Chain A
Amino acid sequence: MGQTTTHHTQNKVEKDYHGHPNYIKIWGVLVGILVLSLAVGELGHKVLSVTLIFGLALVKAIMVIGNFMHLKWEPKLLTWVMIFAVAALGIFYFGVAPDVVYVEMKIAK
């Protein structure tokens, strides 16, 4: 009994076509942020520069995910999945930190 199954994503017109943002402009902004974070790196104040750099890295990541990977136009669920993945890592970090970060080492002779 012949069984033809059309895989619906195969030759379907891009139903959820939602246009492409101006990639070049976003690329420009990203390079700008990169240069900015390098400049911040020269700043004397250590703690401020580290937090700024990671902040800028986070902004870059969110821009890449949002615009290049079109997460902005995907259903909300996918965004929540990504957030949960990062949250799971956060849970892991704060669950383990008291045991690894705040314990001084002493090697038994």
Chain B
Amino acid sequence: MSTNQTSHHQMTFVQKYIFSTDHKVIGMQYMITGLIMAFLGGFLAYGFRMQLAFPGEAIPLLGKMTAGQYNEFITMHGTIMIFWVAMPVLLAALGNLLIPIMIGADDMAFPTLNMISYWVFFLSTVVLIASFFVPGGAFAGGWTAYPPLSANGYTAHGWSVGLGGNLWIIAVALEFVAFLIGGINFIVTTFNMRAPGLTWFRLPMMVWMMLSAVLIFMFAVGPLIAGAAMLLLDRTVGTGFYNPAAGGDPILFQHMFWFFGHPEVYVILLPTIGVLAEVMTTFARKPIFGYKMIIYATIGAGFLSFVVWAHHQFIAGIDPRMATFFSITTIMISIPFSLIIFASIATLWKSSITLSTPMLFALGFIGEFLIGGVTGIYLGSSAFDIYVHDTYFVIAHFHYALIPTVFFGGLAAIYFWFPKFIGRMYNETLGKVHFWLTTISFNLVFFPLFFSGMAGEHRRIFDYSMWKSLMTPEIMNIRIISTLALIVLFLSQFIFVFNMIKSALSGPKAEKNPWKSNTLEWQADSPPPHGNFAQTPVVHRGPYEYSVPGRSEDYWPQTSAN
């Protein structure tokens, strides 16, 4: 382990901010990279939605879009939003910012390794963005990269053709390496560096969820790294792992991808459930409903998420008997998550709610995620999936599951911990304006897509004018409404950026515990110094002792002795 902390000399700017090994600075670096990539991903969505709403016309800022560009935009939109926004912001940024300070440690178990993990991630971001400007453009085979299309249809040509695709695979592989290193850091820190008295069942829900998310990611990503290596060999060296003519099998990659893909969406969801528990209990002044029940449900869902993956492939040519098995496991895995959502709703019973911005976003998450979860039952049923697979119904479903998780959950976390890590209060009214604009426009973008999906609008089509059944006035109007609402959604994020920057520079100073919350990070100064706590805190009780009968104050910090 690096021992430079012991000789605490005055660190230069580069050491303090660029190559810092402080978990808070690394968390901030992940957060900023993730948010910038969110705007890039959002801009790509603006691009292809304009093409869908006004086919063939020149798009402001982008000009006329060709079919190849369209495929490139949708592939990169999917890749960026999942791998370069959801995972860095929810997993790496919140993990790095919160885990050490929430368990009373001064830093991660391996600070230098933590810094390396960010810079490997930064390198992968550079490689991904470079793949846009490479001859032949970025990868255009869908973010799921199914061979043989992702292997250029096995027409042999070397590195030059499809360089964008090769860079895409290298960028995603580098990103997996970064999150594996980061993940190991999180696990060892949570196991070994908890403050005295902080037993497993006194840990805040955030730390539990972060730990299980990282564990699920680690065990699920293995086969896909092997699959990506085989795909890269297919594309460059000319091997035939997925080439049916050479005896390979395209279905193998689909299994490898979704064996990782489905646990991946739970890796993204779990940190948000952690944020939900922290934010809701603080603003409802009430303990989380069924702390242990939620933890056991999460562990159960973690194991179940490994036997669910083929519901993405019901009609992709897998054995119909397997589809029945996976349809049953898919319906079963909705049980632990409905339990978690029911428990969070039950937390509001007999509570005293203050609707500040983080609470609004957390409640917004529950309200919207219910729609995402509920439409999952349609898709989990294999028979109905025959009709709606690869249509806009699927797109609407997974956006209702992912956007509440990443945007509402992520923004709830950012607003909630902003006073702690920046040391200044954000502007409450701007926050509320941002919430209501985001919620309304988000629903306007995606709810209509359920209907166009039901009408049979299939996915990843550049121009629907060839299908009369999909060019009816209602469906055309749906596309236009959805695109205009997307523009409103995209622009309203700038209110958030303005609010964050203005408050960070000139917002009122934030006190140590503005929300009167119990967990450890609220006992440190804001912003917490390097090393977090002057004295290692000693923990006396669980994190959610709110409104304990017989106490004057309605909160009871974990560290206070009486």
Residue positions of A touching B, CB distance < 8 A: 1-7, 9-10, 84-85, 88-89, 91-92, 95-96, 98-100, 102-103, 105, 107
Q: Out of A1, A98, A105, which one reaches B247, CB within 8 Å?
A: A105
Report the 10 A-B pairs with minimum CB-CB distance, sorted nearest first.
A3-B531, A98-B319, A96-B255, A7-B1, A99-B318, A88-B219, A5-B106, A99-B251, A100-B249, A5-B5
Contacts of B322 in A (CB 8 A): 95, 98-99
Q: Tell me, in angstroms, the Cα distance from A13 to B194 when the chains sit together.
A: 21
Give per-residue flags for B1-24: 1 if the beta carbon is below 8 A from chain A beta carbons, else 0: 101011010000000000000000
B507 at the interface (CB under 8 A from A): no
B300 within 8 Å of A by Cβ?
no
CB-CB < 8 A to B318: which residues of A? 98-99
Q: What would 28 A/B residue contacts be, using CB atoms closer than 8 Å?
A: A1-B529, A1-B534, A3-B106, A5-B5, A5-B106, A5-B107, A7-B1, A9-B1, A84-B219, A88-B220, A88-B306, A92-B223, A92-B255, A95-B255, A95-B307, A95-B309, A95-B310, A95-B322, A98-B318, A98-B322, A99-B251, A99-B255, A99-B322, A100-B251, A102-B319, A103-B249, A103-B319, A107-B244
Minimum CB distance partner of B307 in chain A: A91
Chain B stretch 319-372: residues in CB contact (< 8 A) with chain A: 319, 321-322
Total A-B Cβ pairs within 8 A? 70
With the chains together, A2 CA to B529 CA distance in Å?
Answer: 11
How many chain B residues touch A (Cβ–Cβ < 8 Å)?
Answer: 33
* Chain A nearest CB, measured from B396 CB (Å): 28
Pairwise interchain contact A88-B222, C-beta atoms closer than 8 A: yes
The answer to whether A3 touches B1, judged by C-beta atoms less than 8 angstroms apart, is: no
Chain B positions 455-483 with a Cβ under 8 Å from a chain A Cβ: none
Cα(A4)–Cα(B8), bound, Å? 8
Residue of A nearest to B105 (CB): A5
Chain B residues with Cβ below 8 Å from A91 are 306-307
B383 at the interface (CB under 8 A from A): no
B222 → A minimal CB distance (Å): 7
A2 and B251 within 8 A (CB): no
State the CA gap A4–B534 with chains docked (Å). 11
Q: When chains A and B are docked, how far (Å) is the Cα of A98 from the Cα of B307?
A: 15
How far, in whole Å, are A105 and B5 apart by their CA atoms in the complex?
Answer: 61
Q: Is the CB of B252 within 8 A of A107?
A: no
B244 touches A105 (CB 8 A): yes
Bound together, the chains give a CA A2 to CA B318 distance in angstroms of 62
* A92 CA to B317 CA, complexed, in Å: 17
State A88–B220 Cα separation when bound (angstroms): 8
List chain A residues, Cβ under 8 A from B534. Answer: 1
Within 8 A of A (CB), among B239-265: 244-245, 247, 249, 251-252, 255-256, 259
Tell me the smallest distance from the CB of A6 to a CB of chain B, in Å. Answer: 8
Q: Which A residues lie within 8 Å of B530 (CB)?
A: 3
- Which residue from chain A places its CB closest to the CB of B536 in the assembled complex? A5
Q: Nearest CB to that of B303 among chain A residues?
A: A84
Q: Which of B260-293 contact A (CB under 8 A)?
A: none
Say yes or no: A5-B531 contact (C-beta < 8 A), given A10-B3, A95-B307: yes
Give Cα distance in the complex from A3 to B4, angstroms.
11
Beyond A3-B106, A88-B306, whether A99 also contacts B6 by CB under 8 A is no
Residue of A nearest to B310 (CB): A95
A4 to B531, CA, bound (A): 9
Closest to B5 in A: A5
Q: Which residues of B contact A99 (CB under 8 A)?
A: 249, 251-252, 255, 317-319, 322
Cβ contact within 8 Å between B252 and A100: yes
How far, in angstroms, from A109 to B26 measured CA to CA in the complex?
Answer: 55
In the bound complex, CA of A4 to CA of B223 (Å): 42
Chain B residue contacts of A89, Cβ below 8 A: 222-223
Taking a contact as CB atoms under 8 Å apart, the answer to whether A5 and B306 are in contact is no
Complex formed: what's the CA distance from A98 to B252 in Å?
A: 11
Q: Is the CB of B321 within 8 A of A92?
A: no
A91 to B222, CA, bound (A): 13
Q: Is the CB of B244 within 8 A of A4?
A: no
A91-B306, A105-B247 in contact; A4/B529 too (CB < 8 A)? no
Residue of B nearest to A108 (CB): B244
Contact B245 A107 (CB under 8 A): yes
B5 touches which of A3, A102, A107 (Cβ 8 Å): A3
CB distance from B166 to the nearest CB of A (A): 25
Q: How far is the CB of B266 from chain A (nearest CB, A)?
A: 14
Chain B neighbourhood of A100, CB < 8 A: 249, 251-252, 255
A88 contact set on B, CB distance < 8 A:
219-220, 222, 306
Query: B259: which of A6, A95, A103, A105 is its contact (CB, 8 Å)?
Result: A95
For residue B309, which residues in chain A have a CB less than 8 angstroms away from its CB? 95
Q: How far is the CA of A23 from the CA of B3 in the complex (A)?
A: 33
* Residues on the B chain within 8 Å of A103, using CB: 249, 319
Q: How far is the CA of A100 from the CA of B252 in the complex (A)?
A: 7
- Of chain A, the residue at the smallest CB distance from B534 is A1
Closest residue on chain A to residue B321 by CB atoms = A98
Shortest Cβ distance from A29 into chain B, in angstroms?
Answer: 30
> Which of B6, B220, B244, B307 has its CB near the most chain A CB atoms (within 10 A)?
B6
**Selected contact of B8 from candidates A2, A6, A7, A95, CB within 8 Å:** A2
Residues of A within 8 A of B106 (CB): 3, 5
**CB within 8 Å of A: which of B81-108?**
106-107
